[in-house]
Amino acid sequence: MKKIIFSLFVFAIGFNSFAQTTAVDKAEQEKRDWFHSDFSKTGIYGVGTDSALEFLKSKGMKPTPVVVGVLDSGVQITHEDLKNEIWVNKNEKAGNGKDDDGNGYIDDINGWDFCTTADGVDYNEDSYEATRMVVLFEPYFNSADKKKNAENRRNMPLEYKQYLRARQVWADKYYSAKESEKSGEADDQAKQILAMLEELQAYSKDLKLTKESVQNLEADNADEKAMRDQILFIISNNEEFVGMTMAEIIAEAKKEFGEMSKSDNNDLLYAYNVNYNPAKGKFDVKGYGNNEVQGPDALHGTHVAGIIGASRGNGIGMDGVAGGLVKIMSVRMVPDGDERDEDVANAIHYAVDNGAKILNMSFGKAFSPKKELVYDALKYAESKGVLIFHAAGNDNKDLDFSYNYPSNYKDDEMVPMVSTMVTVGASTRYNDKLKASFSNFGAVKVDLFAPGAEIYATIPENKYRYLQGTSMASPVAAGCAALLWSYFPQLTANQVKEILFETVNVSDAEVKVGSEAEPRKFSDLSVTGGVIDVNKAVRLAYDRYGK
C-alpha cells in the first residue's frame, strides 16, 4: 500500500511538483538537502552523506556498484536524474520476446512488473487486504448454514479471529466512504479552499508572487492586510509557488483536488469492493507479469529510487544518498491498494535471484493472509546474503503491540525471524520533534530511524517533489547501506547492518508518541535508539576493515 503523508491544505505543504529549471536560493537548497546533513557539524540529524564520501575519497578508496531492488509502484527509468543509475540485465536481449537468461521472465531488461492481470496487463487499483479477507472467510463464518459456521469457528479459531478483525476494519472503512460520498465533505473542503484562493486572486490580480512583490501590495484596510499576510504565509511555506500568479496556483489546486476526488471514488470502486479482483487467476500463470517496470503510477517508486540513487553532482534535481554507487532494479508490485502476499514473495525472489544485494520495501498493510509465503521469501533473501529495508508504517503506532506486514516477527512473537532485515521509522530535521508525528515506532520491532519528513526527490516526468512518510525513511537507510557496502564489498550483510546499528546518533529527547499522555525518550522508540549516520558508519568500517 502506497503510504505518503500529505496535507489537504495548501498552507501546510505544497501540492504541486516542478521541474528543475532555475537556480534556488541557499535556504531552499539547504532544505532540499537536509537529509544529507552531517550531524557532527550542524546538529541536524541528517545522515552525513557528503562527509562520508569526502572521507572515503581522502583514503583513496574505490567503490564497486551495488544492485538495489526497489520493490514498489514502479520507477521512471528514463528520469533525467535516474537514467544513468538503472540496472540492466546483461544476460537478456531487449525486445526479442525470448527468455534469454532462462530466469523465467521474458525481456526483463531493467526488472519486472508483477502488478498485472493473468494475461499480463498492468493494473493500478486493487482492493485492501481487509476486503479480500472478508471475501475469503465469509463462506466459512457467515454463510447461510449457521451450523457449519459454528463448526468452522470452533475448528478455525485463528482464522476466525483474523476474519473478525478484518471485517470490522472493512465495515468501518466501507461505510465511512459511503457516508463521505453522500455528504460530499471532501468536496466542501475543496470548495472552501478554492473560494479563499479566488479572493486572494482578486486582490493580487496577475502579480507574480514573491516576498518583495507581495509586501509591496497596497493594503488600505484590515481585510486587505489579512489577505496580504495570507499570501505571504502561503508562499513562505510553499517555495514552489514563488514566482507564480494566484491564478496559476488555483489551477494547480483544482488539478490536485480532482485527483483527491478520484481517490475517494476509488475507495468504493476498488479498495472496499468485495466483487473487484484484478489478480484473478494470475498466480496460476508461470512467469506472470510484464517488463514495463514503470507502470501507470510510478510517483511513489520513482521518489524512493531517487532518494537511494539519483545521480550526484550533475547540477540538476537532487542528489541520492548513493548516486553513482548503485544500480536500481525496479520490481513493480505495489498497487493503489494493498499489495498481495504472492506478489511480495515473488518480487523478493526475483530481485534476489537477479543479483540485488539490498532490497527496499516501502509498503505495508495491516493483514497478511499468506504471510508464510513472505516469511519464506525473507528467509531466502537472508540465505543469499541480502540486506532488506522495510518502512515501519505511518500510523503513529507501537509496532511491538500492533500489526504491519511484511514483518520480521511472527504474530505476537518478539524474536526476529531473519537477521538481515531492518525496519525503519521516520525522523525530522527538527531536534525538538525528532520523531515524525506519523511514524510508527517500537523498542523491539523498529530497528532505527532515518530522515523521512520533507524529503525532496525525483518523481515522474523529470520532476521533483517533497514527500514524507516512512516510505522515504527506508530508502534513506537503504542508500546508506549501499554507500557503505559499495566501498567495503568484502563485508557480509550482517556486518553492514552491525556497523549501521553501532553508529546511529542516539537522542534522549522526549517526544510524544501515539495517544500516550506522557512523552517517551526518543532512544526508547527503537532497537538502536537513534538516527542512521553513514558518515560515522564508513569511518568505523574503515577502522575495522579498511586498513
Q: pLDDT above 90 covers what percent of the chain?
A: 76
Residue-averaged pLDDT of the chain: 92
The three-state (H, E, C) secondary structure of 463-494, written as one string = EEEEECCHHHHHHHHHHHHHHHHHHCCCCCHH
* Domain-terminating residue out of 161, 183, 205: 183
* Domain-terminating residue out of 183, 205, 225: 183
How many Cβ atoms are within 10 Å of 430's Cβ, its own excluded?
12
User: Is the pLDDT assigned to residue 3 strictly greater than 80?
Assistant: no
User: Is the pLDDT assigned to residue 5 strictly greater than 60?
Assistant: no
Residue 6 lies in a domain: no
The Cα-based distances of 61 to 68, 320, 494, 495, 546 in angstroms read 21, 20, 22, 19, 9
Helical residues (DSSP H) of 109-156, grouped into ranges = 129-141, 146-155
Q: Give me the phi and psi of 46, to 5 degrees please.
A: -90, -175
pLDDT tens digit sequence for 416-474: 999 999 999 999 999 999 999 999 999 999 999 999 999 999 999 999 999 999 999 99
Q: Is residue 507 domain-shared with residue 367, that is, in the same domain?
A: yes
With beta carbons less than 8 A apart as the criterion, state whether 415 and 439 touch.
no
Q: Span 136-147, mean pLDDT?
A: 96
Secondary element (H or E) of residue 505: strand 505-506
Mind giving me the DSSP string for 321-373? Answer: TTTTTEEEEEEE---BSPPPHHHHHHHHHHHHHTT-SEEEE---BS--TTHHH
Q: Is residue 388 domain-shared with residue 456, that is, in the same domain?
A: yes
- Surface-to-core class of residue 377, CB atoms within 10 Å of its CB (0-12 exposed, 13-18 middle, 19+ buried): buried
* Domain-terminating residue out of 238, 259, 280: 259
User: Is the pLDDT assigned to residue 158 strictly greater than 50?
Assistant: yes
The Cα-based distances of 42 to 45, 531, 538 in angstroms read 8, 14, 19
Q: Which grid coordinates are listed for 493? A: 550483510
Residue 26 lies in a domain: no
User: Is the pLDDT assigned to residue 244 strictly greater than 90?
Assistant: no
Q: Is residue 80 domain-shared with residue 161, that is, in the same domain?
A: no
Percentages of the chain per state (helix, strand, coil), in multiples of 5? 45, 10, 45
Place of cell 514527500: 467
Q: What is the pLDDT of residue 192?
A: 78
Q: Is residue 396 domain-shared with residue 475, that is, in the same domain?
A: yes
CATH of the domain at 116: 3.40.50.200
Q: What is the pLDDT of residue 19?
A: 62
Q: What is the pLDDT of residue 277?
A: 97
Q: Which residue has the higher pLDDT, 517 or 465?
A: 465
In this prediction, residue 236 has a pLDDT band, given cuts at 50, 70 and 90, of confident
Q: Span 108-132, mean pLDDT?
A: 98
With beta carbons less than 8 A apart as the criterion, state whether 390 and 378 touch.
no
Q: What is the pLDDT of residue 424?
A: 99
Secondary element (H or E) of residue 457: strand 455-459
Q: Which grid coordinates are listed for 187? A: 468536496
pTM of the model: 0.86
In this prediction, residue 253 has a pLDDT band, given cuts at 50, 70 and 90, of confident
Q: What is the pLDDT of residue 262?
A: 57
Distance (Å, whole) CA 118 – CA 286:
10
Residue 423 lies in a domain: yes
Q: Is residue 298 domain-shared with residue 176, that is, in the same domain?
A: no
In this prediction, residue 2 has a pLDDT band, given cuts at 50, 70 and 90, of very low
In this prediction, residue 187 has a pLDDT band, given cuts at 50, 70 and 90, of low
pLDDT tens digit sequence for 318-356: 999 999 999 999 999 999 999 999 999 999 999 999 999
Query: How many domains does the chain divide into?
Result: 3
pLDDT tens digit sequence for 261-305: 555 567 899 999 999 999 999 999 999 999 999 999 999 999 999
Using alpha carbons only, give the angle 522, 526, 532 rounded to the nearest 5 degrees: 85
The dihedral sign for the CA sequence 421, 301, 370, 108:
negative
Q: Is residue 106 domain-shared with residue 168, that is, in the same domain?
A: no
Residues 6 or more apart whose Cβ sits within 8 Å of residue 321: 35, 36, 47, 49, 307, 308, 309, 475, 476, 479, 480, 482, 483, 534
Q: Span 406-412, mean pLDDT?
A: 94
Q: Is residue 79 domain-shared with residue 175, that is, in the same domain?
A: no
How many Cβ atoms are within 10 Å of 60's Cβ, its own excluded?
6
pLDDT tens digit sequence for 355-380: 999 999 999 999 999 999 999 999 99
Q: Is residue 333 domain-shared with residue 343, that is, in the same domain?
A: yes
Q: Is 442 left (phi over 0), alpha (psi -120 to 50) or beta?
A: left
- Report the amino acid identity of residue 393: G
The order of strands in the sheet holding 463-467 is 18-19, 463-467, 455-459
In this prediction, residue 177 has a pLDDT band, given cuts at 50, 70 and 90, of confident
- Report the amino acid identity of residue 530: G
Residue 38 lies in a domain: no
Q: What is the pLDDT of residue 96?
A: 96
User: Is the pLDDT assigned to residue 223 strictly greater than 90?
Assistant: no
Q: What is the pLDDT of residue 237?
A: 67
Secondary element (H or E) of residue 304: helix 299-309
User: Is the pLDDT assigned to residue 54 strictly greater than 90?
Assistant: yes
Residue 464 lies in a domain: yes
Q: Which grid coordinates are listed for 246? A: 494566484
In this prediction, residue 260 has a pLDDT band, given cuts at 50, 70 and 90, of low
The number of angstroms, rounded, from the C-alpha of 42 to the middle of its chain's C-alpha atoms is: 26
Q: Is residue 489 domain-shared with residue 445, that is, in the same domain?
A: yes
User: Is the pLDDT assigned to residue 11 strictly greater than 60?
Assistant: no
User: Is the pLDDT assigned to residue 116 strictly greater than 50?
Assistant: yes
Q: Give me the domain span that covers residue 162.
A: 129-183
Residue 475 lies in a domain: yes
Q: Is residue 146 domain-shared with residue 57, that is, in the same domain?
A: no
Distance (Å, whole) CA 365 – CA 344:
12
The three-state (H, E, C) secondary structure of 186-225, written as one string = HHHHHHHHHHHHHHHHHHHCCCCCCHHHHHCCCCCCHHHH
Residue 405 lies in a domain: yes
Residue 241 lies in a domain: yes
Q: Which of 79, 468, 37 is nearest to 305 (CA)?
A: 79
Q: Is residue 434 domain-shared with residue 523, that is, in the same domain?
A: yes
Q: Is residue 452 domain-shared with residue 486, that is, in the same domain?
A: yes
